[in-house]
Structure 1
Amino acid sequence: MPLITSDSQGVFVIAVTPFNENGSLDTNSIDRMVDFYYEKGADGLTILGMMGEAPKLTQAESIEVARQTLKRSGSRPVVVGVSAPGLAAIGELTKAVMDIGAAGVMVAPPSLLRTDDQIIGYYRNVVETVGSDVPVVLQDFPLSTGVQISSKTLGAIIEAHPSIVMVKHEDWPGLQKITDLREAEAKGRRRVSILCGNAGIFLPEEMQRGADGAMTGFPYPEMMVDVCRLSRDGRYEEAQDVFDAYLPLMRYEQQPGLGLAVRKYVLAKRGAIASAAQRRPGMALSAQAVAEVEKLIERQERKLEALT
């Protein structure tokens, strides 16, 4: 399986982790979910991220999910989230998943980091732990981690560690950070791939700022595929029209604590997974919320029909 590089681009869908109603892993749904994502145009996958409920899995379960996803993905790249409070756990999981064919690993900073020096030192320790031959995605998601990484600090980390080949950009507001990274590259700094998260809520603007694609789990991957494709072709108005059709559902999915429940409900409705169940603790949609989601999907379908 190919490794990710600084030139990687496209849509790497953040995959959910399927569970049965009793909270056990639904291994039968993993294959159908992987097939679903690729059928909708994904270039690769990222598993065991925050939306994949990774903290609720044991280390053995994480490796099991990775092994099955990698096997089903064939030659397509799969990035594995290995974030953990301690470096030992990061190192152990990284070795396990790289040995079975992962394309790279993703690491978010722990919430205890506060200063620039601490952040720089942390990623130095990460690279030393996993090895400089392992491609690393730096997940910059301050809304979740509480860790603010400035453009200057991010640049220092990139310059110091060539194995950090990708930034998962999820700062909000953060469009200027994409511009800062690309401007620094124009002045001679090495290139990094930039894939964007936040459910795709700013994807049209991010692509125009110089992002290489999306790395998020919105349950309509085809939206991200189309927006990225049209943007790369310079067809920004068409990309915006496609995006606008999905925007109400994306907005609804942004509700803190409820977003994963919405996402899993839609994926189950679309046949990607058998059940919308989350492993405890996790929120479920009320009957009223389900009705709201169904209405949004109905309106979305009408808007898409008008575009064709």
Structure 2
Amino acid sequence: MADINLRGMGVALLTPFNEDDSVDYEALGKLVDYQLQNGTDYLVVLGTTAETPTLTEEEKKQIVNLVVTRVRGRIPIVLGVGGNCTRAIVEQLKANDFEGIDAILSVVPYYNKPSQEGIYQHYRAIAMATRLPIVLYNVPGRTGVNMTAETTLRIAREFKNVIAVKEASGNITQMDDIIKNKPANFNVISGDDGITFPLVTLGAIGVISVIGNAFPREFSRMVRLSLSGDYASARTIHHSFTELFDLLFVDGNPAGVKCMLHMMGFIQNKLRLPLVPTRIGTFEKIRDVLHQLNIKC
């Protein structure tokens, strides 16, 4: 298993679409370049923010190939490989070519609502099916079930290729429990932009960010300042984004960040059903905040 450094700001890369609903590969390439040029530490491909459930298998392959080719090993790439059928994930891990991929991000099974023992057995099967580093992803607001600190720590202690958890439970006490009791080779990554600053002060190593799609330079700087202990400077940047954090998700993800990037001239304001763009009121509020931040749109 190769070493991978996920300290800092990873960006959960979105998928741009054309007006005809096709993937806008040209815009995606430009977005990857924008991340490379502005301090992003690693990219997460085919996660929730990428609207992955709406993509075909061929589109997923083309997206991965484009990102791997564009990045050329300059920063790590983490690939979303998850689902609610353990057997299917294991078969995918054994059969697919992961050339250019440095780690996988695998979400807690959704819809099935497994028990804690079921979650453990799910990740046990995944860990034994691959030599790639694995990042767990706990997001109970989407999956319908919370992976407890006890289960997370059990997995972390038993499987050396499970290297981190992206924690998006919103439960600071739970996250702090994991940070306090984790093994040395395991880390906690924020799964929520709005709590990244306080979570880093508790010992998290960074964030897998949505807002970083639009503001990689500024948000990665906030993360680095936090990690270096310059909390006063980091707090100032954190507070400058407070209103945008709320607007990002009020109409669902990635509607908010796609609206921002559309205003900044990167992409069409297009999502695939069942997701739709932000409401006009949210659109206008985002535009006003971007103007306050002196962002041209």
Q: Shared topology, TM-score over 0.5?
A: yes
Distance 1:98 1:11, change over 3 A: farther
Q: Where do 1:160-179 residues align within 5 Å?
A: 160-173=158-171, 175-179=172-176
Structure 2 residue runs without a partner (length 5+) = none
Q: Deviations over 1:39-95 (max 9, x none)?
A: 221011001111110111122211111111011011111101011232344245445
The answer to whether the 8 A contact 1:79-1:103 is kept is yes
Q: Where do 1:102-113 residues align within 5 Å?
A: 102-111=101-110, 112-113=112-113
Query: Residue in 2 aligned with 1:62?
Result: 60
Secondary structure of the residue aligned to 2:209 is: coil
The answer to whether the 8 A contact 2:44-2:208 is kept is yes
Please say if 1:278 is aligned against 2:271. yes
CA distance in 2, matches of 1:116, 1:281: 30
Secondary structure of the residue aligned to 2:197 is: helix
The answer to whether the 8 A contact 2:259-2:277 is kept is no
Distance 1:89 1:117, change over 3 A: closer
Distance 1:9 1:259, change over 3 A: same
Query: Residue in 2 aligned with 1:203?
Result: 196
CA distance in 2, matches of 1:73, 1:216: 18
TM-score scaled to structure 2, two decimals? 0.91
Secondary structure of the residue aligned to 2:222 is: helix
Query: Residue in 2 aligned with 1:260?
Result: 254
CA distance in 2, matches of 1:91, 1:33: 31
Deviation of 1:113 (Å): 3.3
Query: Residue in 1 aligned with 2:236?
Result: 241
Deviation of 1:193 (Å): 2.6
Q: Match of 1:118, as an amino acid?
A: G
Deviation of 1:96 (Å): 6.6
Q: Deviations over 1:189-210 (max 9, x none)?
A: 3321322122x10111011010
RMSD: 2.0
CA distance in 1, matches of 2:204, 2:158: 22
Query: Residue in 2 aligned with 1:180?
Result: 177
Deviation of 1:300 (Å): 3.0
Structure 1 residue runs without a partner (length 5+) = 303-308
Please say if 1:223 is aligned against 2:255. no
Secondary structure of the residue aligned to 2:146 is: coil
Distance 1:114 1:86, change over 3 A: closer
The answer to whether the 8 A contact 2:6-2:41 is kept is no
CA distance in 2, matches of 1:265, 1:99: 32
Query: Residue in 1 aligned with 2:125?
Result: 125
The answer to whether the 8 A contact 2:32-2:71 is kept is yes
Secondary structure of the residue aligned to 1:201 is: helix
Query: Residue in 2 aligned with 1:289?
Result: 282
CA distance in 1, matches of 2:17, 2:270: 6
TM-score scaled to structure 1, two decimals? 0.88
CA distance in 1, matches of 2:26, 2:154: 43
Secondary structure of the residue aligned to 1:139 is: strand
CA distance in 1, matches of 2:97, 2:162: 15
